[in-house]
C-alpha cells in the first residue's frame, strides 16, 4: 500500500478546524483510506468529547474494511484511558492495517502507544509530514515543552516605523481588512494582553466583534490599580485577569485580581500563572513597553506586524525583533509574520 502525502494534508486541513475552539486539547485530524479513496475522516471537536480517530473509525459500519485500510492521524494516538477510550486500543480492536502518524505526543504516557500498535502487528509510519503536523499544534507543543503559553506579539506600524503618531492622538494605522484579521487572530488565542498606557489612552474593548469566534481572556497589568472602573476592561463581557502589586480581596464573577511583584521577574510570574491556569496562548497587542518586555527577554514565538503606507514623521518607535520572516503578504497594508530564533 502506498502512503500518500495528500491524505495527511487532508488530515491537517481537518485538524485546523479546531483552532481557537478546543484548547487546551490539541487539534487533531484523521483520515481513513483504502486503495486511494477516503472512506472516513474526522477532527476532534470539544463538545462531542471524542477523539478524531474514534470519530473516524466509528463512522465505518463494516468492520471487514479495516483490514485493508490505512489510518492517517496528525498527532500520535492516545494510549491512556482518559475521559474517552484509548484510540490505540480501538485501532488494535478494529485491526487497522497501517497507521501513519504526523507528530509525536509531548506526553510520555502516550508514548507506549506506538510500541503497542507494533506489538499487535500494525505497521506504523512515524513522523510523516512531521513539521507541518507540529506547526498546527504550535500552541500545544510550546505549552508542554516550554511550560508557558505560545506568545504572539502583534502591532501596527506606519511606513516610517512608528506605532503611534506624535501629532494625532489615536491616528488609525491599520485598515478594515487588517482590523478584521486581527479579530480573527484574537479568536484563535486563549488570551490577549495590552499595556496599561494603551488602555488609558485607547480604552480598547479587546473582543472579536469583527469575526465569528470566541473572545480571548483579557489580561492587563495595573500596578497601582489606577485604571478607572468605567473603562471597557471592566465591562464584564469577557473573562479578565488583572495583575497588580496591590493586595485585593475584590472578586467579581469575570474579573480575577492577581497580586504579583513588579520586578525583574514580572514576565516570568505572569507566564507561570497563565501556565497553571492552562492558558495555552497569548496575543500581545502593544504598546511598545509591554512588547519590549517580551522582546528584551527573548521570550516570544511569533511577531505579526502590519506595515501601512502612512507616514507619521514622528512618534513612538515600533519595536524591533530579530527572526525569520515566515509570511509576507499585502492586503492594502503589508503583513509580516516573523518567527523567533529562540
Query: CA-to-CA distance for 194 and 173, rounded, in angstroms?
Result: 17
- Least spacing, CB of residue 172 vs ligand NAP, in Å: 9
Q: Which is nearer to ligand NAP, 79 or 333 (CB)?
A: 333
CB 129 within 8 A of CB 277: no
- Least spacing, CB of residue 224 vs Zn ion, in Å: 47
Closest CA to 252 of 260, 263, 241: 241
The site partner of 32 among Zn ion, ligand NAP, none (C-beta below 5 to 8 Å per kind) is: none
Strand 123-125 and strand 98-103: the pairing is parallel
Query: CA-to-CA distance for 208 and 274, rounded, in angstroms?
Result: 21
53 as an active site residue: the answer is yes
- Least spacing, CB of residue 203 vs Zn ion, in Å: 44
Query: CA-to-CA distance for 64 and 95, rounded, in angstroms?
Result: 9
Q: Which is nearer to Zn ion, 56 or 78 (CB)?
A: 78
Assess 154 for contact with Zn ion (CB under 5 A). no
Can you list the alpha helix ranges (DSSP code H) found in 137-265? 138-146, 176-188, 196-202
The site partner of 78 among ligand NAP, Zn ion, none (C-beta below 5 to 8 Å per kind) is: Zn ion
Q: Which is nearer to Zn ion, 78 or 279 (CB)?
A: 78
The site partner of 51 among ligand NAP, Zn ion, none (C-beta below 5 to 8 Å per kind) is: Zn ion
The site partner of 233 among Zn ion, ligand NAP, none (C-beta below 5 to 8 Å per kind) is: none
Assess 116 for contact with Zn ion (CB under 5 A). no
Residues 35-64 that bind Zn ion (CB under 5 A): 51
Residues 231-290 that bind Zn ion (CB under 5 A): none
- Least spacing, CB of residue 188 vs Zn ion, in Å: 23
Residues in contact with 123: Cβ distance below 8 Å, sequence separation at least 6, in sequence order: 97, 98, 99
Query: CA-to-CA distance for 201 and 231, rounded, in angstroms?
Result: 11
Q: Which is nearer to ligand NAP, 12 or 164 (CB)?
A: 164
- Least spacing, CB of residue 44 vs Zn ion, in Å: 8
Residue 179 C-alpha from the chain's centroid: 19
Closest CA to 102 of 72, 130, 122: 130
How many residues bind Zn ion, per CB under 5 A?
3
Assess 87 for contact with Zn ion (CB under 5 A). yes
Q: Write down the catalytic residue from 33, 41, 50, 53.
A: 53
CA angle 56, 57, 62 (to 5 degrees): 125
- Least spacing, CB of residue 305 vs ligand NAP, in Å: 9
Chain contacts with ligand NAP (rule: CB under 6 A): 155-156, 163-164, 173, 195-198, 201-202, 221, 223, 262, 266, 285-290, 293, 316
User: Order of strands, edge to edge, in the sheet holding 323-330?
Assistant: 255-259, 240-244, 217-221, 191-194, 281-284, 150-157, 302-307, 334-340, 323-330
The site partner of 168 among Zn ion, ligand NAP, none (C-beta below 5 to 8 Å per kind) is: none
The site partner of 287 among Zn ion, ligand NAP, none (C-beta below 5 to 8 Å per kind) is: ligand NAP
Which secondary structure element, helix H or strand E, spans residue 94, and what is its range?
helix 87-94
Q: Which is nearer to ligand NAP, 107 or 177 (CB)?
A: 177
Residues 65-84 that bind Zn ion (CB under 5 A): 78
Q: Which is nearer to ligand NAP, 91 or 163 (CB)?
A: 163
For 64, phi then psi, to 5°, come to -65, -20
Which residue is nearest to ligand NAP, using beta carbons? Answer: 287
Which secondary structure element, helix H or strand E, spans residue 102, and what is its range?
strand 98-103
Q: Cell 495595573 identifies what position?
A: 222
Residues in touch with Zn ion (CB under 5 A): 51, 78, 87
Q: Which residues are catalytic, by number?
A: 53
Amino acid at each position: 500500500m502506498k502512503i500518500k502525502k495528500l491524505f495527511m494534508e487532508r488530515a491537517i486541513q481537518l485538524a485546523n478546524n479546531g483552532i481557537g475552539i478546543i484548547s487546551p486539547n490539541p487539534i487533531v485530524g484523521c483520515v481513513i483510506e483504502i486503495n486511494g479513496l477516503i472512506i472516513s475522516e474526522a477532527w476532534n471537536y470539544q463538545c462531542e468529547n471524542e477523539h478524531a480517530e474514534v470519530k473516524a473509525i466509528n463512522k465505518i459500519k463494516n468492520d471487514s474494511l479495516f483490514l485493508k485500510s490505512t489510518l492517517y492521524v496528525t498527532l500520535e494516538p492516545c494510549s491512556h484511558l482518559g475521559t474517552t477510550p484509548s484510540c490505540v486500543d480501538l485501532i488494535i480492536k478494529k485491526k487497522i492495517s497501517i497507521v501513519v502518524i504526523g507528530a509525536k505526543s509531548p506526553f510520555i504516557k502516550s508514548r507506549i502507544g506506538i510500541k503497542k500498535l507494533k506489538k499487535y502487528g500494525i505497521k506504523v509510519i512515524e513522523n510523516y509530514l512531521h513539521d507541518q503536523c507540529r506547526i498546527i499544534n504550535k500552541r500545544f507543543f510550546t505549552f508542554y515543552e516550554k511550560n508557558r503559553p505560545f506568545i504572539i506579539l502583534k502591532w501596527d506600524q506606519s511606513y516610517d516605523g512608528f506605532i503611534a503618531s506624535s501629532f494625532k492622538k489615536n491616528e488609525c494605522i491599520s485598515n478594515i481588512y487588517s482590523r478584521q484579521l486581527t479579530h480573527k487572530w484574537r479568536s484563535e488565542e486563549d488570551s490577549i494582553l495590552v499595556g496599561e498606557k494603551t488602555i488609558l489612552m485607547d480604552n480598547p474593548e479587546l473582543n472579536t466583534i469583527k469575526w465569528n469566534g470566541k473572545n480571548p481572556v483579557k489580561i492587563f497589568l495595573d500596578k497601582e490599580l489606577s485604571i478607572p472602573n468605567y473603562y471597557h476592561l471592566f465591562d464584564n463581557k469577557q473573562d479578565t485577569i488583572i495583575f497588580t502589586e496591590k493586595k485585593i480581596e475584590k472578586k467579581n464573577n469575570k474579573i480575577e485580581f492577581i497580586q504579583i511583584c513588579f520586578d525583574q521577574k514580572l514576565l516570568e510570574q505572569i507566564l507561570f500563572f497563565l501556565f497553571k491556569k492552562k492558558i495555552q496562548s497569548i496575543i500581545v497587542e502593544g504598546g511598545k513597553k509591554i512588547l519590549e518586555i517580551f522582546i528584551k527577554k527573548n521570550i516570544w514565538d511569533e511577531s505579526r506586524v502590519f506595515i501601512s503606507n502612512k507616514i507619521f514623521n514622528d512618534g513612538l518607535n515600533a519595536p524591533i525583533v530579530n527572526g525569520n520572516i515566515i509570511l509576507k503578504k499585502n492586503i492594502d497594508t503589508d503583513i509580516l509574520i516573523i518567527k523567533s530564533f529562540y
